[in-house]
Amino acid sequence: MEQELNNVVFPKYLNATSEIGSKSSSSASIIYRISTNEEFEIFKKSNLKGKFAVVLQADLINKKNLRDLEATNKVEGLIVIYDDTKEPVPYSPDKECPNCEFGMYTEGEKANYKWNPYGDGLLYEYFSFPIYGMSLDKPYEVEGVNAIIKADEFNKKRNYKKYPLYSIKFDSFMYASKNSETCLSRDHCDPIGGNSVWGTYSKQINPDDGKKIVIVSSQIDGNSLFHDNTIGTNSQIGGFVANLAIADALSKSEVLPEQFQNHIVFTFFSGESYGYGGSQRFVKDISSYECKSHDYNSNYMCSQFSSCQDPCMYVDDFKNITLNNIKGIIELNQLTCSGCDDINNPAYYMHVDDETDPETLKITNLISRVYSTYEDSYSSYNIKPAWEGLEKNLGLPPASAQSFLKKQKIPAVVIGDFQTEYTNKHYHSGFDVESDSVKYDNTVCKTADIIAKAIWLYAQNKESDLEINSIPPSVSVDCQYVNDLIHCLSNNITCSLTSKLIASNNGATLNSEVSKISHYSGVFNGVSLSGAINSNYNYDSWIANYAIIKSTGRNTTIPCTIINDCLDLEYPNYKDLDKDAKAKIDALPYSLRNYQCILGYCIEGRSYAHPAYGIGIEHDAKKDLFYINDRNLPNWTESRWDKNRLTIYFVSSKTFQFIELLIGILSIILTICGYYYIKNYAKRNMKIA
């Protein structure tokens, strides 16, 4: 009598003051489908009675439409259908100035500048009805979508009035309520975030070694209305892949990067979409971190292998990075040029905070000179300072670099495919996807190549024209690597490159049914505390982790299939050790070992996980739970929820049900009458009592 459908939901998440997202479950309501703007107007003006489950085409989703629907008071729940048949209108559910309330600019124009012109802030609104999403992209949701469409056609023929009609029941229970503080104390929610990853070529970073640190940074998490439908090819995958490609290019330098005059640190920040969770926490920890206790408690979430128990910190190698030692930050922002005016003439811009600072200009000048030196005569690519030709410098766009500059003035350049406003027409939207037919040779690959060369010079303190002209040809980005990675991350995680990366160390295989993964950062929970980089199926951290070790580590050229094949390299006398020592070595987590098996070879290298969640939340190691320690700092949490259900079935009208009841009562009355009639008849006509 009922059919259950697979779906995803716009969950409830909370901050210090309020809850956003969609409300918990509700009762049954008639299916009503809206697929065009005209139908939308018809629904708003109609005088149909009752409550409806509105099935909305995804390109009609925006704040105004949803608020209008709410105002009709006829909407009991909303189902959003994603199908890729038509080109969606430019739209972004994020704010016009994303994350600006947590950035480095607190007042003036830069604090509210509208970088995201198509944004309306839908992601931060609260709705009084549940919002579910279904996509024709996912094979296990197609059946459900078709069922809903058929049901609506049936209802439409009956003008949504003539019962019986198809109805849908939403069942979703969100545990959290009120605000982050309340739900964290009740253990009904988790901080939004995950694990950032960073790596470096250098074997040791010492604050007193006379070397400074060049940070190459990118964001790896995306965002959209439905976290399960979050891809973000153009929002963050471009920058993420460029970062990995630069690490790969520099690793091919004949002069080993670990011998450069400066350290290079590659950072991959997660949780950035929600108040710069990854970068702000990283900056906070490298400026002030102190381990208070190493006492391990087996009942608590903190792993016994963590370098510190209070606060719970899995690895503490970041201690050697200090804000004073950072020479410069180069951040790879949106780089795919998906919305550029002319895709054949991609234009890139270098954004800085202070265009007069000579140290900052050193970086931008180097990049410009590398560009002009290595520019193809027939190429139409262009990269130049963002403030060039503008009345005034707009400052840094929303970027992880803002977290560093908020604390201390550091030379920072953010590279993006936009000048005064995002060219990406679907920033942080479910429509931010790209097919495999798009190639990034002229966009992401080229940009990464120029930046890699510039970093090669910058990290070696080389500035002269002669040095620029003699960058070895080995230092160049592999465009095949860039294209493969972007395609794999966006469209098919089971492709050769990423499935091999994921299979590093222990041969973990992917469920072949899942091809598109979500790039939402997820939540930071007990599992994340143990530095589990692949927790909550966040493949971005997982892939960044292994790819950066491969690039920054030393390839021993010894083949392997699992990590234990490389044990001899780290412990040459492993065979002679006693049982206890062997057990101790075997128990050590892969991420803490010095030799890992990646893409078939033993690589000597490390990468480091770093907690990423809003710095307004802290983990109390003594009580082993999370709490709000500053309501004014980002403290986004996501509610825990039961499995969401969507069931579809027929209903008949209330009047009909009461008529049925009437008939039932009538039949009993008739029986009683019949009995007495026959009894009297027998009495009268048979003279027998």
Partner 1 sequence: MGFVSYLAYLLIAYGPSITIFILYISRSAQLVILVVSSAFFWLISILISSIYWFIANLVFKYEKLENANSDKDYYKRIIYLMLISVLSVFTQELFRWLFWKLLNKAEAGLNAMSEKPKSPLNKYHFSFASGLGFGVMSGLVSYSTVLADSLKPGTILCGACPTMPMPFIAALITSIFVLLHIVWSIIAFNAFEKKEKLLIAWVFIGHLMASLATILTYTDRMKFGCPICFVILVSILGYTTYIAFKRFTKIKMA
Detail the DSSP E strand segments found in 91-246: 126-127, 131-135, 165-171, 189-191, 193-200, 213-219
State the sign of the Cα–Cα–Cα–Cα dihedral 480, 484, 485, 486. positive
Residues 168-227 that bind partner 1 (CB under 8 A): 169
288: left (phi over 0), alpha (psi -120 to 50) or beta: beta
**Identity of the residue, 598 or 648, whose beta carbon is nearer to partner 1 in the bound complex:** 648
CB of 51 to partner 1, least distance (A): 14
**Identity of the residue, 360 or 644, whose beta carbon is nearer to partner 1 in the bound complex:** 644
Q: Determine which residue in the list 359, 664, 677, 683 makes contact with partner 1, applying CB under 8 A.
A: 664
**Identity of the residue, 511 or 685, whose beta carbon is nearer to partner 1 in the bound complex:** 685
CB of 657 to partner 1, least distance (A): 4
675 near partner 1, rule: CB under 8 A? yes
**Identity of the residue, 256 or 661, whose beta carbon is nearer to partner 1 in the bound complex:** 661
CB of 54 to partner 1, least distance (A): 19
CB of 653 to partner 1, least distance (A): 11
Q: Are 32 and 149 in contact (CB under 8 A)?
A: no
For residue 395 the two structure tokens come to: 């400052």
Q: Determine which residue in the list 71, 390, 583, 665 makes contact with partner 1, applying CB under 8 A.
A: 665
**Identity of the residue, 289 or 675, whose beta carbon is nearer to partner 1 in the bound complex:** 675
Q: β-strands 75-82, 131-135: how paired?
A: parallel
Cα-flanking dihedrals φ and ψ of residue 146, to 5°? -65, -35
State the Cα–Cα distance between residues 137 and 84, nearest whole angstrom: 8
80-to-374, 554, 642, 643 alpha-carbon distances in Å: 48, 48, 20, 18
Longest Cα–Cα distance of the chain, Å, equals 132
**Identity of the residue, 126 or 650, whose beta carbon is nearer to partner 1 in the bound complex:** 650
CB of 191 to partner 1, least distance (A): 37
Q: How far is CA 368 from the centre of its chain?
A: 32
**Identity of the residue, 51 or 516, whose beta carbon is nearer to partner 1 in the bound complex:** 51
**Identity of the residue, 37 or 667, whose beta carbon is nearer to partner 1 in the bound complex:** 667
270-to-26, 280, 513, 683 alpha-carbon distances in Å: 34, 11, 26, 91
Cα-flanking dihedrals φ and ψ of residue 189, to 5°? -150, 170
CB of 671 to partner 1, least distance (A): 4
Q: Determine which residue in the list 203, 209, 682, 683 makes contact with partner 1, applying CB under 8 A.
A: 682
For residue 326 the two structure tokens come to: 């950072």
Q: Are 637 and 184 in contact (CB under 8 A)?
A: yes
Cα-flanking dihedrals φ and ψ of residue 21, to 5°? 110, -150
CB of 688 to partner 1, least distance (A): 6
CB of 6 to partner 1, least distance (A): 18
663 near partner 1, rule: CB under 8 A? yes
**Identity of the residue, 42 or 661, whose beta carbon is nearer to partner 1 in the bound complex:** 661
**Identity of the residue, 622 or 654, whose beta carbon is nearer to partner 1 in the bound complex:** 654
- Among residues 96, 25, 90, 88, the alpha carbon closest in space to that of 56 is found at 88
Among the residue ranges 134-142, 258-266, 372-380, 668-676, the one whose residues contact partner 1 (CB under 8 A): 668-676
Residue identified by tokens 């429509």 is 431
Element (H, E) at 481: helix 479-491
CB of 31 to partner 1, least distance (A): 12
Among the residue ranges 192-200, 218-226, 268-276, 665-673, the one whose residues contact partner 1 (CB under 8 A): 665-673
For residue 247 the two structure tokens come to: 């690490």
578-to-265, 581, 584 alpha-carbon distances in Å: 38, 6, 10
**Identity of the residue, 128 or 657, whose beta carbon is nearer to partner 1 in the bound complex:** 657
> Reading across the β-sheet that carries 193-200, which strands appear in turn?
382-385, 347-351, 412-416, 326-332, 213-219, 263-269, 193-200, 608-613
594 near partner 1, rule: CB under 8 A? no
**Identity of the residue, 409 or 683, whose beta carbon is nearer to partner 1 in the bound complex:** 683
Detail the DSSP E strand segments found in 136-246: 165-171, 189-191, 193-200, 213-219
Residues 240-259 that bind partner 1 (CB under 8 A): none
Among the residue ranges 220-228, 285-293, 374-382, 664-672, the one whose residues contact partner 1 (CB under 8 A): 664-672
Q: Count of CB atoms within 10 A of residue 14's CB? A: 28
**Identity of the residue, 581 or 678, whose beta carbon is nearer to partner 1 in the bound complex:** 678
667 near partner 1, rule: CB under 8 A? yes
- The 3-class secondary structure across 278-316, one letter per residue, is HHHHHHHHHHCCCCCECCCCCCCCCCCCCCECECCECCC
Residues 641-660 that bind partner 1 (CB under 8 A): 647-652, 654, 657-658, 660
**Identity of the residue, 28 or 527, whose beta carbon is nearer to partner 1 in the bound complex:** 28
CB of 661 to partner 1, least distance (A): 4
- Among residues 202, 215, 201, 269, the alpha carbon closest in space to that of 455 is found at 215
**Identity of the residue, 508 or 673, whose beta carbon is nearer to partner 1 in the bound complex:** 673
Among the residue ranges 184-192, 315-323, 338-346, 669-677, the one whose residues contact partner 1 (CB under 8 A): 669-677
State the Cα–Cα distance between residues 650 and 169, nearest whole angstrom: 11
Give the binding-site size for partner 1 (rule: CB under 8 A).
Answer: 32
CB of 642 to partner 1, least distance (A): 18
Residues 543-562 that bind partner 1 (CB under 8 A): none
Residue 207 DSSP label: T
**Identity of the residue, 30 or 363, whose beta carbon is nearer to partner 1 in the bound complex:** 30
Residues 368-407 that bind partner 1 (CB under 8 A): none
Site string for partner 1, 28-57 (x = CB under 8 A): x-----------------------------
Q: β-strands 189-191, 637-639: how paired?
A: antiparallel
Q: Are 520 and 223 in contact (CB under 8 A)?
A: yes
Q: Determine which residue in the list 672, 677, 680, 683 makes contact with partner 1, applying CB under 8 A.
A: 672
Residue 440 DSSP label: -
Among the residue ranges 173-181, 364-372, 396-404, 667-675, the one whose residues contact partner 1 (CB under 8 A): 667-675
Q: Are 569 and 595 in contact (CB under 8 A)?
A: yes
Q: Are 56 and 68 in contact (CB under 8 A)?
A: no
Q: Determine which residue in the list 474, 509, 671, 680 makes contact with partner 1, applying CB under 8 A.
A: 671
- Among residues 134, 139, 115, 410, the alpha carbon closest in space to that of 235 is found at 115
Site string for partner 1, 126-165 (x = CB under 8 A): --------------------------------------x-
CB of 685 to partner 1, least distance (A): 7
The contacts of residue 653 (CB under 8 Å, 6+ apart) are 163, 164
Among the residue ranges 16-24, 365-373, 389-397, 661-669, the one whose residues contact partner 1 (CB under 8 A): 661-669
Question: In the beta sheet, which residues pair with residue 313?
Answer: 308
Q: Determine which residue in the list 7, 116, 135, 167 makes contact with partner 1, applying CB under 8 A.
A: 167
CB of 72 to partner 1, least distance (A): 24
Interface with partner 1 (CB under 8 A):
1-2, 28, 164, 167, 169, 647-652, 654, 657-658, 660-665, 667-668, 670-672, 675, 682, 685-688
